[in-house]
Amino acid sequence: MDKQIGEALKKITNGVYIIGSKYGGKVNAMTAVWVTRLAFKPQLLGVAIGKSRFSHHMIERSGLFSVSVLGPDQIALSRHFGFKSGRDTDKFADISYLTKVTGAPILKTALAYFDCKVVSAAEAGDHTFFIGEVLEGAICHEGVPAIYKKEEIFGNS
Ligand SMILES: Cc1cc2nc3c(=O)[nH]c(=O)nc-3n(C[C@H](O)[C@H](O)[C@H](O)COP(=O)(O)O)c2cc1C
């Protein structure tokens, strides 16, 4: 049954995003595909962040996060930010970023960004679903957003 549910869940489509955080003088970011719009008024975005992620620690304490939207030619960035932890690596050592109102890092090459203030956090099993009010957001580069395809990022294994 679990396998069936897992296979069925693969039919849900997601984009590919980089979630930026800033806390205690440090910036970090991680890849996330579990990101969604939630309301028009105010404009709300939800992100599901695993409790073991360093980003979880940072977002929980700062109450802030940014979302950078990736395009289909930016899969390498999703690996860079998704395969190692900011706990022991500076993922921004060779990657330039900008900051807006929250100070959380936003990728300069993103298609679009959102800067969010956490207004609510719901327990979601091994994740926390952080709901953020969008304080600022804009398109940085024209283009279509990436659609998450597991094989493209993780290979066929
Ligand atoms: C394609 C892809 C999608 C991911 N989606 C999520 C996600 O939606 N939520 C999550 O908590 N982790 C997700 N991850 C895992 C985190 O990006 C990964 O654990 C990262 O190393 C955490 O970094 P941090 O410890 O610096 O926060 C994803 C990873 C990849 C490669």
In this structure, which amino acid lies at residue 120? Answer: S
Our answer on whether the CB atom of 31 is closer than 6 Å to any ligand 1 atom is: yes
Mean pLDDT value of segment 30-40: 98
Angstrom distance (rounded) from CA 77 to CA 134: 23
Mean pLDDT value of segment 124-142: 98
In this structure, which amino acid lies at residue 138? Answer: A
Kindly report the average pLDDT of the chain as a whole number: 97
**CA dihedral in degrees (128, 129, 133, 139; nearest 10)?**
110
Please tell me the pTM assigned to this model.
Answer: 0.98
What pLDDT, in 10s, does the model give residues 116-132? 999 999 999 999 999 99
Angstrom distance (rounded) from CA 33 to CA 50: 12
The closest-lying atom of ligand 1 relative to the alpha carbon of residue 34 is 8
Per-residue pLDDT at 1: 78
Angstrom distance (rounded) from CA 120 to CA 123: 10
Per-residue pLDDT at 157: 62
Mean pLDDT value of segment 65-81: 98
Architecture of the CATH domain 15-154: Roll (2.30)
- The Å distance, Cα 43 to ligand 1 centre, comes to 24
Task: Enumerate the domain spans of the chain.
Answer: 15-154
